[in-house]
Amino acid sequence: MGGLSSESPGVHPLLMAQNVESQIHLIIGSNSLSVARCSKCIDAGAIPVIIAPPNGEMAASLSQKIQDGSVRWIQREFEDNDLSTLGRAEVDGYVDAVFITAGANNHLNSHISKLCRGLRIPVNVVDASELCSFSLLSTYSDGPLQIGVTTSGRGCKLASRLRREIASYLPPGLGTAIEILGSVRKRIWEEDVSAAPSTSFHFEVGDDDSEAQKHTFNSLILPEHPDVAKTRRMRWLSQICEYWPLRRLASITDADMEKILAAYKEAKTADISDAHGAHEEKRGQIILAGSGPGHPDLVTRATYHAIKTADLILSDKLVPAPVLDLVPRRTEVHIARKFPGNADKAQDELLDMALAGLRAGKRVLRLKQGNPYLYGRGAEEYEFFRAKGYSPVVLPGITSALSAPLFADIPATHRGVADQVLICTGTRAAWRRAGTAQLYSHANSGVPYGTSPASIAGGVINYRCPGRGTFVETSLATRYSLRSR
């Protein structure tokens, strides 16, 4: 009889969230564990039914639940036909789940487990994973947010510790933020998505929590696309969930979301300068800084000091949460609302925010990923602020173009192997693609000049900090053939 601990390599239990409202859950035993099982069932909306003799052990808190009427108590030993007679009429009297809380040596455990499996009734037996068809996870709950951890029956104490570690990392208020985001998503769906052609939603907007980010999530949609106005707000909400730091998400309010919805409904940026318009213009300071490849330990001391002393921080969305966690709680932070097809408008919004802050006499930090002058818009921003009468301070950062190969153990230059470094982009201004053929033409320029097509080439993808990302080993010939297709 197989249990939760499968001996087959690579086979793991299927985790799911199940709606058990109004279901009948049979709990055999009346000890302290039975109390915990009853509480779990009640919290999930199920109806617990206890089967235990009147002269047996009875936890005080369980007696209270029975007196309150939240738990039904059948005062006798278990009988086989209980499985098919104590349940709901909708399922012909069969119970929906069985919990056996007696010790592992109880002779009834194997018998009841076998009966349940024959009737396809989920069964859980304490301290006997081989008799279980399901187990309860060690869970953390915050409103609609539920996080569960299981060791597949191999170590429940470790699962509890892991759950505590995960929960301690999460910022307070995340459950409330999820409620807000959920209501906003429903509103956007009703106002925008239901009226839009289905073809305009080739990015992910599904309700399945198990769905990973699709390859179309950051697909290019030009501003002149006829359906872009109808999909803009849902795309932005998806980007918020994917890229905003959890601490920022946890602090979001209904007012924040209303401002975002209004700005994107009208296809314009919110006017944030009204509060300062009546005041005399002051002179602030603008800093353009690179945050490095993604790890806070790799931020330069100058950038770290700028983060700690800024009055207003305008951050790119790709600056990761560990770096943004360096920002003091009192500091105002705005994340760029950039996604493919909206980069120019989002950039204009950041520049407007920066100017408003500067005119209010604030120390404004424009925080960028990597190095501010390697791609991105660092030089353009420098020219913009110079034209407005400000002299930006530029702080360098470690670019991923050089650090990603390092993290993948690839030297950018190596005596006798490589004496040049070529850096090229896959996009041009206004999000026009440079073209895969052109990109591979740069990357494979060594092939026509006599370099062996069999030379090993490496592809490093999404390396933001040590230990993260994907490395693909290939050859120049393979990459060159891809370019030619």
Quote the DSSP letter at residue 416: T
**Tokens found for residue 335:** 């994340």
CA distances (Å), origin 41, targets 47, 48, 57, 61, 71: 7, 6, 21, 15, 10
**Tokens found for residue 274:** 């009204």
pLDDT of residue 3: 58
CA–CA separation, 214 vs 208, rounded Å? 13
CA–CA separation, 272 vs 334, rounded Å? 12
Kindly report the pTM of this predicted structure.
0.61
SS3 content of the chain, % helix, strand, coil (to 5): 40, 15, 45
**Amino acid residing at 286:** I
Closest to 256 in 3D by CA, of 267, 272, 243 = 272
pLDDT of residue 426: 67
Quote the DSSP letter at residue 419: -
What's the start-to-end Cα distance of the chain, in Å?
54
Q: Which parts of 329-399 fold into alpha helices (H)? A: 343-359, 378-387
Domains of the chain, with CATH numbers? Answer: 24-136 (3.40.50.720), 174-265 (no CATH), 274-398 (3.40.1010.10), 401-484 (no CATH)
Per-residue model confidence as pLDDT tens for the chain (485 residues): 455 666 666 778 888 899 999 999 999 998 889 999 999 999 999 999 999 998 877 878 888 889 888 999 999 999 999 999 999 999 999 999 999 998 766 778 999 999 999 999 999 999 888 899 999 999 999 999 999 998 887 776 899 999 999 999 898 889 999 999 999 888 888 877 666 555 555 444 555 665 555 555 555 555 555 555 556 777 788 888 888 888 888 888 888 888 777 766 655 444 434 433 433 445 799 999 999 988 899 999 999 999 999 999 999 988 988 999 999 999 999 998 776 667 788 888 999 999 999 999 999 999 999 999 988 788 999 999 999 989 899 999 999 888 888 888 888 899 988 888 888 776 665 545 544 444 445 444 545 455 677 777 777 776 655 555 566 666 655 654 444 43
CA distances (Å), origin 137, targets 13, 148, 151, 280, 444: 11, 5, 9, 59, 51
CA–CA separation, 28 vs 78, rounded Å? 7
pLDDT of residue 449: 52
